Structure 1
C-alpha cells in the first residue's frame, strides 16, 4: 500500500508519500480500505513535535490519522467475518489512517449511513462527535446570545447550525472575508472578521446597550479567546474546547467571580467522559444520525492523500473551511 509517513518531526514538508507494508488485523480488529481520512488540527501540532496538552508523540516513523471511513476487507481472529464488505467509519485513538489500508478495533466501528458520503461520514465521526460533546456541555437554549470563535471551521460551523436551530442569537467570528461569508450563509445573525482590529467593538455596537453575550464557545485560545471571554456578560458562560493557538485561556477565579462568569473547560470534561472508551462510539453514532437527517451538515475540504503535506500547511495557515479530509487514490 501507499501511505503518508513521518520520519522526522518538523514542518509539513517532512511527510513522505511512500510504500509501506500492508497492515494485518490482529485479534479483535478489522482491516479497512480507506476511502477518506480526517485530518485533525492536533495532528499538525504533533507532526511539528509540539508537546503539552496533546496526546503523546508517536514513535517514528509514524502514520498519522485516527479518523477513517472505508470498507472492511479483512478480519482478525475473533471477529465475525460478516464485517467484510461493510462500509464503516471510526474515530479510534490509534493512528494509521493516512494510508490506503488501516486497521481498527471492531468495537470502535460505526456503520456508514448510506445517505452520507465517506467524506461527510468521516467529518461527522470526528468533528461531529466532538461538537455534540461540546453542545451537551454548553447547554445552549432559546434566547441565548452565542459567540462562536472559528465559526467557519469544522466544529464552529456545526455549533452555528445547532445554535440557530434552538433559537439562539448567533454571532460567528472567523478570519477573512471568505470565511465570514461562509458564516453568514449558515444563518449567523452577525459575522465578524476577528483578524481585523476592533472586532469586539463591532459586536458590542451590534448588541447595543445592556445586551451581552451569554455563551462564548472557543477552541482558538490566545488573544481571540481572551477577547471572546471579555465579551461575555454577567451570568454568562465561557466554554473552551481546546486551543489551536497553543495558548490556552485559563481565567482566574477572582476575575470570574468579579464578573459573574462561569468558565467551563469542555476538553477536560470530554477526556474524563470518554477515558474508558465506552461513550465515544455512542456520540459518533449520534453525530452520523444528525448529518444523515440533515440537521447538522459539515463542510469538507478534500486533498489527495499524496498531498497530505499541503493539507497540513493549509490547516496551519488557517486557509481551510470546514473539515479537512484526505482521499486515497482509487
Structure 2
C-alpha cells in the first residue's frame, strides 16, 4: 500500500516521505483493518513528527492520529467507523488498524471528511467544557485559537450548551471563520487586546470558563480576565510555551486551573468516551455540530497539510482523503 513514513524526526515537509510499497498492516486480536476514507490533520501529528509529543512511536512510523475508515474484513466488514489508528500504522496511508473497542460508528449526518474530524477535537472540547469546567447555560466562555481544530469544536459546543462565546483568533480570515461558527464576540489578537475586550463584553466580570489550547501569553492574559469562581481549562501549548502560573494569583482571585488529558479517558474511563460520542452524534444529526473542514486534500498532500497545521496557517480542519 501507499503510506507516508517518518524515518527521522524533524519538520513534516522535510521528514515525511510517501512510500509506494509499505506492507499492509495485519489486524491482531481485538483490532480491525480499515481502508482509510479520510484522515483529519491534528496538531499532535506535527508534534509527533518532530518528536515532541508524549507518544513516540518507533521509527519508521506512519503519522496520522484520527480517521474515518471502512472495515475491510471480518464480521464488521463494510462498517464506516471513526477513531484513533493503532500506531505505528497511522492514518496517512491507504489502510490502517483500529482498536475495535475504541472505534465508533461514523455519524450518518457527516460525510467522510467531516466524520474524520469529529473524534479528537470534539471529544477534547466536550470533556473540557462539560466534565472538567462544568460549563452552564448563561455563562461566558472564552475560547483561544477559536478557528483551529479543537478551538472551533469548543465554539460550537459552547453555543450548544447555551454559553456566550468570545472567540480569540489570529487574523481576519480566522475571525470570519469564528463568526461563521457562531461566536458571539470575535477578537483578532493581532489587532486587539483580548483581555480588554473580555472585560468590556462582560461589564468587568470576566469569563466564567476559558478553553486554552495555546498556553504562553494566552494563558497569562486569561488570568487577567477570569471571573470570580472562573475555570481555566489547560488543553495544550500550541504557542510552544508552558506557563508557570502564580498560584497565589489563583488563590487571591479565586479561580481554578484545570488540566485535561483526553487520552487518559480512553484507558481510565472508556465508557465516558462512548457516552460523549453518542451526544456528539445527536448534535451532528440536528446540525448543531458540523466540523469546519476548510480543505480536502489528496494523500499526496499530507506532508504539506501537516506542515500548514504546524505553522498555524490552517483554518478549521484540513482533511486528507483516501484514494
**TM-score (structure 1 length as normaliser):** 0.89
Partner of 2:298: 304
Gaps of at least 5 residues in structure 1 are 75-80
Partner of 1:275: 267
Aligned partner (choices 24, 36, 40) of residue 42 of structure 2: 40
Gaps of at least 5 residues in structure 2 are none
Q: Does residue 165 of structure 1 match 2:163?
A: no
After superposition, where does 1:203-218 map in structure 2 within 5 Å?
A: 203-208=198-203, 210-218=204-212
Partner of 2:116: 122
Aligned partner (choices 227, 232, 238) of residue 232 of structure 2: 238
Deviation per CA, 1:205-256, whole angstroms, max 9, x where unpaired?
A: 3444x43222211111011221122211222121111211232234232111
Partner of 1:175: 170
- Deviation for aligned residue 1:92: 4.5
Preserved contact between residue 306 and residue 328 of structure 1 (Cα < 8 Å) = no
Partner of 2:308: 314
Preserved contact between residue 92 and residue 108 of structure 1 (Cα < 8 Å) = no
Matched residue pairs, number? 317
Q: Which 4+ runs in 1 deviate beyond 4 A?
A: none
Preserved contact between residue 45 and residue 65 of structure 2 (Cα < 8 Å) = no
Preserved contact between residue 33 and residue 102 of structure 1 (Cα < 8 Å) = yes
After superposition, where does 1:35-74 map in structure 2 within 5 Å?
A: 35-50=37-52, 54-74=53-73
Partner SS, residue 223 of structure 2: helix
Partner SS, residue 5 of structure 2: strand
**TM-score (structure 2 length as normaliser):** 0.91
After superposition, where does 1:1-330 map in structure 2 within 5 Å?
A: 1-13=1-13, 14-19=15-20, 20-50=22-52, 54-74=53-73, 81-92=74-85, 94=87, 95-136=89-130, 137-196=132-191, 198-208=193-203, 210-267=204-261, 270-276=262-268, 278-279=270-271, 280-300=273-293, 301-329=295-323
Cα–Cα, structure 1 residues 56 and 168, in superposed 2: closer, same or farther, change >3 Å?
closer
